[in-house]
Amino acid sequence: MKPMLSIVKIGGNIIENDVELAQFLTLFSELPGTKILVHGGGKKATAIGERLGIRSTLVQGRRITDAKSLEVAVMVYGGMVNKKIVASLQAHSCNAIGLSGADAGSIRSVKRPVREIDFGFVGDVDHVNTQSLTTLLQAGLVPVFCALTHDGKGQLLNTNADTIASELAIALSKEFTTTLYYCFEKPGVLKDVQQDDSVITHIDKEIYHRLLKEKSIADGMLPKLENCFHALDNGVEKVCVGNTRMLHPDHHLYTTITL
């Protein structure tokens, strides 16, 4: 029987809220077994960039990463945000190690090709080094990944944190029974985006397609759910979506997604 692995991704609204972040890191540190944390930091990068006179550009809700924006992302994601999280986890006796995809060759990406839009230095994951990661996990370390990968030729690339989490979960599912958690500000996938008590507690493919047909899922949730089913289709045991309290063993109001 394969050992259990939890991969948890936190969104920018949690990172921006010191109280929520502190609560999350306490719960994450208490999460039993082998685990990995993945974080973004886009809002923080936008704020720091503006202080430096570097404005963020979004097209269709997606960030364009030019050379200057990449420098800010490396500074914020790989530096300030990552190390703050790692230090906080160490204070909770959780032996965290901060990583980008370049460290130990963990996550390699290809620069997104230019089609209708040139996204700049944005990477799409094409390889996860499970050998390096398994070595770290077996040593009792808790990897904390920021949203940066590399192309194997010396170039860092900005990479969607949801995608990093799902690709890590898929690759490591060959060695572990893997559960993927997407933590954000809402308590789960909602029937009514205005009503936090309208959580859909379970979604499978049949329910998902019905919700799509009914147009019951908010547009912003669609890419996250696509990531969820991509992970499930490729070996991940289950995916959970909810707020930070989802990690508490006595909390049951969140969305569990299975095939």
Structure tokens at 27: 């719960």
Confidence (pLDDT) at 72:
96
Residue 61: pLDDT above 80?
Answer: no
Domain with 80 in it: what CATH number?
3.40.1160.10
Instruction: Say what angle helices 205-214 and 222-233 make with each other, to 10 degrees.
Output: 160
**256 domain-assigned:** no
- Tell me how many domains the chain contains: 1
**232 domain-assigned:** no
Query: Residue 213 is inside which H or E element, if any?
Result: helix 205-214
**56 domain-assigned:** yes
pLDDT bucket at 221, cuts 50 / 70 / 90: confident
Confidence (pLDDT) at 80:
96
Confidence (pLDDT) at 218:
76
**199 domain-assigned:** no
Among residues of the chain, what percentage have pLDDT more than 70? Answer: 99
Residue 219: pLDDT above 80?
Answer: no
Q: Please give the C-alpha separations between residue 21 and each of 17, 111, 138, 217, 243, in angstroms, as whole numbers.
A: 6, 31, 27, 26, 11
Buried b (16+ CB within 10 A) or exposed e, 5-16: bbbbbbbbebbe
Average pLDDT, the chain: 94
Q: What is the mean pLDDT of residues 232-259?
A: 96
* Type of residue numbered 222: L
**257 domain-assigned:** no
Among residues of the chain, what percentage have pLDDT more than 90? Answer: 85
Q: What is the mean pLDDT of residues 29-37?
A: 97
Q: What is the mean pLDDT of residues 78-95?
A: 98
Confidence (pLDDT) at 58:
78
Neighbouring-strand partners of residue 178: 5
**110 domain-assigned:** yes
Mind spelling out the 3-state secondary structure of 17-86?
CHHHHHHHHHHHHHCCCEEEEEECCHHHHHHHHHHCCCCCEEECCEEEECHHHHHHHHHHHHHHHHHHHH
**Mind listing the pLDDT tens digit for each residue in 142-175?**
999 999 999 999 999 999 999 999 999 999 999 9
pTM of the predicted model as reported, rounded to 2 decimal places: 0.96
**87 domain-assigned:** yes
Q: Which domain holds residue 71?
A: 4-185+239-247
**218 domain-assigned:** no
